[in-house]
Amino acid sequence: MVFQTKRKFLLFFCHIMAITICTESAIIKQNSNSSYMTARDAIIHAEDLLSIGGHLILNERENQVDEIFLRYKYDELARGFQDADQNVGAMHFFKAKPMIEQSKVFQFLQQMPKGALLHAHTSATVSSKWVVENIFQMPGLLRCVRSDGVSILSFRRMPEKHNCTSDYVLVSDERNRADSAEGYDQSLEGLINLYTPMPELEYPTITRVWTRFQNMFSTMSDVLLYLPAYRAYHWQMLQEMYDDNIMYSEVRMNMYELYDANNNTFTGERCLLELMHLVAQFRQQHPDFLGIKIIISPSRNTAPEGIQQRFDNFKMYHSLYPKTLIGFDLVGQEDTGRPLIEFVSILNQQPETAKFFFHAGETNWFGSPIDYNILDALLLNTTRIGHGYALIKHPMLWNEVKARDIAIEVNPLSNQILHLVWDLRNHPGALFIAQDIPMVICNDDPGFWNAKGLSYDFYYAIMSMAPNNAGLKTLKQLVWNSLKYSTFDECERKNAYELLQTKWDQFIDNVLNGIVV
């Protein structure tokens, strides 16, 4: 009976995968270990071919680099297997970050060209430490505290009270009165950084961590509308991308009114024009950075009439700047927000030249109205899906995603820190990789956990989600995917691929010449 079960199992895989080396004789020879191992190896090889990067063919120099990378990876995996306290890929980022930064795998990834970053929110992209050392040192910064204990910061001469229970005070005065300026600045950083040495105790529920997360946006929102801060912050955003070998990005943001030191205010269009000007200046200094495009992303908690107004504004500005303002999304915690189905009649007014990039499936619920955001995103013809964490619970939908070649914007650190999964080896991205479901690696809100660029997210993708033997093929496919699933036009994409290939070849040479790691 056991032999018959084995025989059916092997015949099934031989039929499905059309592996010709699985012959009938290899199955029926019950006592032949070599035949058993041949069939077993064939199935493993077939699974490797099914995965992301499985069909890539590396050249000789890339194969040498792959061997180098896998040595680093196997060494780290072995340490983690022998000692759970060293198993970095299974640890929470807040506990693992110092170990990651000493990792040869991470140092390799830092130097690797990343291609494009396709999911990031501008107001949480810049590292919190830089914000404290630069934006929070600007003269005139004011602070008040709301009744719920949340600090509100602003550069306005007469800012709104925001339910504050105290008057606004100058941050510089508070710093001067503090026992330690360094200690005071560390407390300020805590306002915009989720870090805690004990995340399992401080954030025992998803509600607790999301409340703190959303409060940090409240703390920062008016600061980033101050024109000098807006310029400095977004320049640093571009710099941190560039320093981590990101060559292009499609970012989520809103177009709010800016203000200056004289309390002059400027329309939402000025917000867009300032960013376009900064990108043009940055590209003059860094011609190998290809720029950014913008996805307008109001809160999904907004009432339908408010979404209608924001969508109308988006359509107007998209008609003026169609190559820069490319699409629309709804953001915020899905579990507590309005589902996409409530906005379908509004979203059906989409201009033909605009695209959707919906957050969908950023939830652990199954079968709830929120869970079906993925279905509505597909019915609304989304170009990509933000997060897509719940996708694996819907076989019809993930088969549709694969058939229509719609990329999932996977954000490993964000999904862990915001309480969807603790051990990233259990992230559904593992299935996406195994089944070659279209995906790209993104970073979501790295500034709020002080993780510059994409390298930390790539670390967890290759060390936690990918198979142990996944190396340069998987990494290269993920990098190339980032350009494939961007919104480049044909000419832009051709130029981007050529630039990426040049950077990739230089990276390969640097590894072989000992310049990397």
Indicate which residues carry an active-site annotation.
Answer: 362, 387
- For residue 51, the one-letter residue type is S
Q: Would you put residue 162 in left (φ > 0), alpha (ψ -120 to 50) or beta? A: left
CB 385 within 8 A of CB 489: no
Tokens of 300: 């999904």
Residue found by looking up tokens 């508070």 in the block:
174
- What is the token pair recorded at 310? 């924001």
Question: CA–CA separation, 123 vs 105, rounded Å?
Answer: 29
Cβ atoms of residues 265 and 301 within 8 Å: no
Provide the 10 A C-beta neighbour count for residue 23: 14
Residue linked to tokens 């925001």: 162
Report DSSP letters for 487-516, one per residue: ---HHHHHHHHHHHHHHHHHHHHHHHTT--
CA-to-CA dists, residue 339 to 355, 370, 472, angstroms: 19, 5, 39
Strand order in the sheet with 151-154: 151-154, 142-145, 169-170
> Residue 382: is it exposed, middle or buried by C-beta count within 10 angstroms (0-12/13-18/19+)?
buried
- Structure token pair of residue 452: 């510059």
Distances (CA, A) of 490 to 324, 355, 442, 483, 484: 16, 16, 23, 11, 11
Distance, in Å, from the CA atom of 370 to the CA atom of 253, rounded to the nearest integer, reads 22
Q: What angle do CA 397, 403, 404 make, to 5 degrees?
A: 90
Which structure tokens are listed for 206?
Answer: 């998803």
- The DSSP bridge partners found for residue 226 are 259
SS3 of 395-436: HHHHHHHHHHCCEEEECHHHHHHCCCCCCHHHCCHHHHHHCC
CA torsion angle 359 362 453 238 (round to 10): 20
Q: Which helix (H) or strand (E) holds 129?
A: helix 128-133
- Cα gap 53→48, rounded to integer Å: 9
Q: How far is the C-alpha of 208 from the C-alpha of 305, rounded, in Å?
A: 29
Tell how strand 325-328 and strand 265-266 pair up. unpaired
**Structure tokens that stand for 191 in this block:** 């306002």
Which token pair is 481? 């995917």
| Structure token pair of residue 251 | 């970012």
